[in-house]
Amino acid sequence: MRNQLFLLPLALGLSVSLVAQSQNPLPNDPADPTSPAGGAALNRAPALPKAPMPRLPDRTPDLSGVWFGGGPIQDLAAGLAPGETIPLLPEAKKLMASRQSKDDPEANCLPTGVPRIAPYPWRIVQTPSHAKATHLFFLFEGNIHSYRQIFMDGRKHPQDPDPTWYGHSIGWWEGDTLVIDTVGFNDKFWFDFRGHPHTEKLHTIERWTRKDYGTLENRVTIDDPGAYARPFTLTFTAGLRPGEELMEYICNENNQDVEHLVGPARP
């Protein structure tokens, strides 16, 4: 049962990697059914009806619900198209090579940042639901029970945002695709268990498209001239978990294994 797994720490490099790999994979992972590209499932994904994407009363796509996956867990490169590579700059590559598993911020109960995701469910909330949404929230079950806030009311980014773990996000619709533009990140989180770094110059653009009733695709472009030679795009897929609810899991109460994480960061 899923609640039994909450006795384990949430995101502890190899520890969670092994837990996730021991479970049935998310069936709609875009890269490989055994890879972490779409997020590792903690139990078998339910059979979903063959149905089109639902819509809100204003005809915009309804993305609400509990989802699994949608971002990198073990290795950022899992979202690359075949033949592509991550264009790390020399200093960033050197920093990544020096990182140790025990120092992973997520393993120390800190937020995942963007686009990384923990191997646990998360929920999208659009508000108001009866009219054009002004705000959209990502609620995360794992780690520190954190959330992302996306402003959908037409505002712009502040000129000098305070650096934060999830940055400052504004969103809008392009057809049936939700576009989320985020700046103002700190440089503290890692992109994955391998320790891919970033700087405060990071700018992400996510394009979330609900392909059908049970499939949500995230195409995210990472632009960080402080760590990467050019922008690059990754694709991850989340699967719907209808009827499932988020559980309370406070990493601070359960994280007992960091001292056992030894060696360099790796998936």
The string of pLDDT tens digits covering residues 88-130 is 999 999 999 999 998 999 888 899 999 999 889 999 999 998 8
Q: Cβ neighbours of residue 13 under 8 Å, at least 6 residues apart?
A: 101, 102, 104, 107, 193, 261, 265, 266
Q: Is the peptide bond before 111 cis (omega within 30 degrees of 0)?
A: no
pTM for the model: 0.82
Q: What is the pLDDT of residue 78?
A: 97
- Higher pLDDT among residues 191 and 42, named by residue: 191
For residue 240, pLDDT beyond 60: yes
DSSP E strands in 70-214: the ranges are: 122-127, 135-140, 147-151, 168-174, 177-183, 203-212
Return the half-sphere exposure (C-beta side, CA atoms, 13 A cut-off) of residue 243: 4
Question: Are the C-beta atoms of residues 127 and 137 closer than 8 Å to each other?
Answer: yes
Task: Provide the pLDDT confidence category of residue 145 given band limits of 50, 70 and 90.
Answer: confident
